[in-house]
Every structure is written in structure tokens, then in C-alpha cells.
Structure 1
Amino acid sequence: MAAHQLTLSVPATPTAVAFVRHQAVEAIQGWQVDLDDEVVHTAELVISELVTNAVRYAGEGQVSLEVQLLAAVLRVEVRDSSPVLPRPGLPDEHSENGRGLFLVAALADRYAAEPTPTGKRCWAEIALPVRPATKTTVSLPLQRS
């Protein structure tokens, strides 16, 4: 499978989340690759959560998104200028936020947050379902007794 990629950079504003999510889903669907609706929906949620966290905690500056379709995974990577690495945890039941990385951990097959020279990178990988290459039909002659 050929690699497909989308890269976006937007100001760290609340309106950026919906814009980035929409652009990413549109690009993924435009790659003309047979992806499950579940994979696309999972990617949409992961993108939304990672970009929301970046916007909320990065302060001013840019937030960058990169989505790559590789052989067996869809990789989502978000970069921002804050050096503070997020820590997943369970929020209080009355909290209005704090569930983003918990959701990413539940939805993605792998995820991490890593420092970079200019801030941090948070990424998640969604494994693509394995589909049989071809359908095989076996027909056997009926035996009469």
C-alpha cells in the first residue's frame, strides 16, 4: 500500500479543532483506500482529542497535525510548543475535561507523548483490520449413497 499523508498547521485556537478534524477526515476519505468506517471514525475522535489538548495546553503559537496511512496503521501526530508532557488519568466524575488521553488510550492501539526541541509531539496509531486478500470458494462433488 502506498503511503498517504496529510500535514496541517493552524493557530492554537478553539476553532482550530473543528477545522483540523474536518480537513483530516475529508483527506482520509479522499485517499481512495478501502478503510473501515470504524477506522475513520476512530481517527476522527483521536485527532479531535489530541488537537484539543494541544490547543488547550500549548498557549499561543501553532499546532501541527500529521496523518499518515502506512502499510498496517493509520498514524496521527500532533505537535505543539508546550514542553509539558500530558499525563493520562481518570478525571473526577464531575470534571468537565481531562478525559482526552484516556479516550486516546482506549481507542488507539499505541500512543505516546514525547518531548521535542520545540515542545512536544503526541501520537497515536490505529491498526488497520486485516482483510483476506481474496475469497476462496471450495466446491466438492456430492456423494450419493
Structure 2
Amino acid sequence: MAAHQLTLSVPATPIAVASARHQAVDEIQRWAAELDDEVVHTAELVISELVTNTVRYAATGQVRLEVHLSEAVLRIEVYDSSPVLPQPSLPDQHSENGRGLFLVGALTDRYAAEPTPTGKRCWAEIALTAATGPKAAFSLPLQRS
């Protein structure tokens, strides 16, 4: 499988989440028609959660989404201008939101958030090989809210 990369810049608005998700998933499917449906669906959810979190909590102006496909990994990165790193938590059973990063951590093989010179990058990786070994521990500690 050849390496591929997609970079999208979208406005930090709720309507942009769907647009970014659709464009990225369409491109991922064009790159590798042989990708397992589960990988594509997982990527769709991860893109949606990471972009939504950025739009909801951090971004003003533009949000940059990058998707990288290599032989072994599909990597999703979302950049924004806020230096504040996310603080994932385990919501109580009655919360209507707050589960996004928990889902990202449960569905991907690795994920983290890290500062950049202009804000931060939140990323997640989905391994494409069958022998991935045990999942890495969460890079972001979870706290009960």
C-alpha cells in the first residue's frame, strides 16, 4: 500500500465537522479500497470526535485536519490554535457529552495531545496490521467528572 496524506483546513464551526469527516473518509476510501470497513468506520468516528472537540472547546478561526496512511498505520491529526491540552474524563452516567476522548482511546491503538509552537495537536493512530499487540495505555489520564 502506498503512503498517502490529506490536509484539510476548515472553519471552527459545528457545520465544518461533517464536511471534514465526509471529505476525509471519501479520500481514505479512494486511497485504499482494500481497507477493512471497521478501520474506515473507526477513522470516521475518530475524525468526528477530534474535530468536534477542537471546534467545541478550543478553536477560533481555522482547524487543520491531517490524515496519513502508511503500510502499518492510519494516523489522524487535528491542529488548533489553543495551547490548552484536553483533560479527558469519565463522565457520570447521566452526562449527555464528555465521552469523545474516551471513545478515541478505546477505539484506537495510540492517541495523545501535545503542544505545538502555534497551539496543539491531538492525534490518534489505527494500526492496520493484525499483529498489533496489546493496546497502549491512554496517553491522557482520565478523571471522573
| Contiguous gaps of at least 5 residues in structure 1 | 132-145
Q: Which residue of 2 aligns with 1:48?
A: 48
Q: Which residue of 2 aligns with 1:98?
A: 98
Q: Map 1:1-145 onto structure 2 (within 5 A).
A: 1-130=1-130
**Partners in 2 of 1:44 and 1:63 — Cα distance?**
17
**Partners in 1 of 2:18 and 2:51 — Cα distance?**
9
What is the SS of the residue equivalent to 1:82?
Answer: coil
**Partners in 1 of 2:92 and 2:115 — Cα distance?**
27
TM-score by length of 2: 0.86
TM-score by length of 1: 0.86
Letter in 2 for 1:5: Q
**Partners in 2 of 1:60 and 1:7 — Cα distance?**
18
**Partners in 2 of 1:44 and 1:69 — Cα distance?**
14
**Partners in 1 of 2:113 and 2:105 — Cα distance?**
12
Letter in 1 for 2:73: V
- CA RMSD of superposed structures (Å): 1.3
**Partners in 1 of 2:96 and 2:64 — Cα distance?**
25
Letter in 1 for 2:119: G
Q: Using the TM superposition, give the Cα deviation of residue 110 of structure 1 relative to its aligned residue in structure 2, in angstroms.
A: 0.2
What is the SS of the residue equivalent to 1:64?
Answer: strand
| Contiguous gaps of at least 5 residues in structure 2 | 132-145
Deviation sequence 1:27-59 (CA, Å, 0-9, x none): 001114410000000000000000000000124
Letter in 2 for 1:83: P
Letter in 1 for 2:114: E
What is the SS of the residue equivalent to 2:2?
Answer: coil
Letter in 2 for 1:96: E
Larger Rg: 1 or 2?
1
What is the SS of the residue equivalent to 1:111?
Answer: strand
Q: Using the TM superposition, give the Cα deviation of residue 128 of structure 1 relative to its aligned residue in structure 2, in angstroms.
A: 0.5
